[in-house]
Amino acid sequence: MTNGIIMKGIGGFYYVKANGQTYECKARGIFRKEKIIPIIGDKVEIDIDLGVITKIHKRTNSLARPAVANIDNAIIVFAYKKPDPNFNLLDRFLVMIEKEDIHASICFNKMDMSDEVEMAEIKAIYRNTGYEIISASAKEKKGLDDFKAILKDRISVFAGPSGVGKSTLLNEIQPGLALQTGEISAKTKRGKHTTRHVELIELESGGMVLDTPGFTNLDVLEIEKEDLQHYFPEIDDLVGTCRFNGCNHMKEPGCAVKEKVEEGYISKERYESYKQIYLEIENKRRY
């Protein structure tokens, strides 16, 4: 048996990189019986002669959307403009990344469409979160060295909503990838879905990256409302410092989190995202 990693999957076939070569494989029927579905990034054993995946090694982590496993690094890409950043969507993705204990960085692309004041205001929202924040412009080829440094020797998920320039940035990082890029709809100002499948791509500068379809929604309802605070790093840092034990940072008096929001240490946008997600989880649990 030979060890490898699943690079992509199309129509029930999985393309496994092993010993410097890529093999087209099918999954053993036993996986179907055990309700185990191989996903991109899985470390597997294959029978080269039969073209069959015989074993899926234990995953260190996984994401449902996109369906990927064993991720070292997540780079979440939004645009400064066209489309304007949806901070609640960005925060939902960060929550899911935190839940899986994956290192995350944030990239705001299209800095050529914004001015210094606007960019500073957007970056300030995440100033005390601990996330590395990158500004980039695929059009002007700025910020690309920062990307290469983050991606080197890691398996990274490179994701965000459609139209923010993910594929264009990847093409600039490694010319010749020829990934399909999208156009922005003049009517909706949203990007059109262009990536047809999830694929793990080897980079010449080192590391592998997953180019993924755009996100429209992220389900956070599997999280318990009491645990949500732990997936906002700047809020998690304050757990245990409120007046009352078990404070959920909503309406309780003497809340250290709300005090930090008033002081500007925690951004109002991040706190609003926290409250919105908390209430969504609470309301769904009633039904």
Query: What are the residues facing 134 on neighbouring strands?
Result: 107
**Hey, is 15 helix, strand or coil?**
strand
Does 70 fall in a domain? yes
Question: What is this structure's pTM?
Answer: 0.79
Residues 191 and 70 in one domain: yes
Residues 42 and 158 in one domain: no
Residues 72 and 205 in one domain: yes
How many whole angstroms separate alpha carbon 3 and alpha carbon 24? 14
| Segment 114-138, tens digit of pLDDT | 899 999 999 999 999 999 999 999 8
Does 159 fall in a domain? yes
Residues 273 and 141 in one domain: no
Does 148 fall in a domain? yes
Those residues whose C-beta lies under 8 Å from the C-beta of residue 263, and which sit 6 or more positions away, are: none
| Segment 37-84, tens digit of pLDDT | 999 999 999 999 999 999 999 999 887 767 889 999 888 999 999 999
Total number of domains constituting the chain: 3
Does 216 fall in a domain? no
Does 280 fall in a domain? yes
Residues 82 and 118 in one domain: yes
- Cα–Cα distances (Å) from 260 to 147, 238, 241, in that order, read 32, 9, 11
Residues 23 and 139 in one domain: no
Which two structure tokens, joined as six digits, stand for 93? 């993705």
For residue 217, pLDDT over 50 is answered with: no
Which two structure tokens, joined as six digits, stand for 107? 């990239």
- Position 227 scores a pLDDT of 94
For residue 7, pLDDT over 90 is answered with: yes
| Segment 172-205, tens digit of pLDDT | 888 766 454 444 434 444 444 444 567 888 888 8
Does 220 fall in a domain? no
> Which among 229, 238, 239 has a CA at the least distance from the CA of 270?
229
Mean pLDDT of the chain: 85
Residues 73 and 194 in one domain: yes
Does 36 fall in a domain? yes
Residues 200 and 91 in one domain: yes
Q: Report which of residues 30 and 224 the model is more confident about.
A: 224
- Span 23-30, average pLDDT: 90
Residue type (1 letter), 264: G
- Position 187 scores a pLDDT of 42
Residues 38 and 177 in one domain: no
CATH of the domain at 44: 2.40.50.140
Of the candidates 58, 79, 98, which is a domain's last residue?
58
120: domain range?
Answer: 63-211
Does 239 fall in a domain? yes
CATH of the domain at 185: 3.40.50.300
State which H helix or E strand residue 170 sits in: helix 166-173
- Position 286 scores a pLDDT of 63
Give the lowest-confidence range in 92-96, 231-235, 271-275.
92-96
Of the candidates 28, 58, 88, which is a domain's last residue?
58
Residues 197 and 134 in one domain: yes
For residue 29, pLDDT over 60 is answered with: yes
CATH of the domain at 243: 1.10.40.50
Residues 74 and 114 in one domain: yes
- Position 147 scores a pLDDT of 81
State which H helix or E strand residue 149 sits in: helix 144-151
Of the candidates 58, 73, 90, which is a domain's last residue?
58
- Span 280-284, average pLDDT: 88
- Position 118 scores a pLDDT of 93
Q: Report which of residues 29 and 108 the model is more confident about.
A: 108
Residues 40 and 145 in one domain: no
CB 125 within 8 Å of CB 267: yes
| Segment 237-257, tens digit of pLDDT | 999 999 999 999 999 999 999
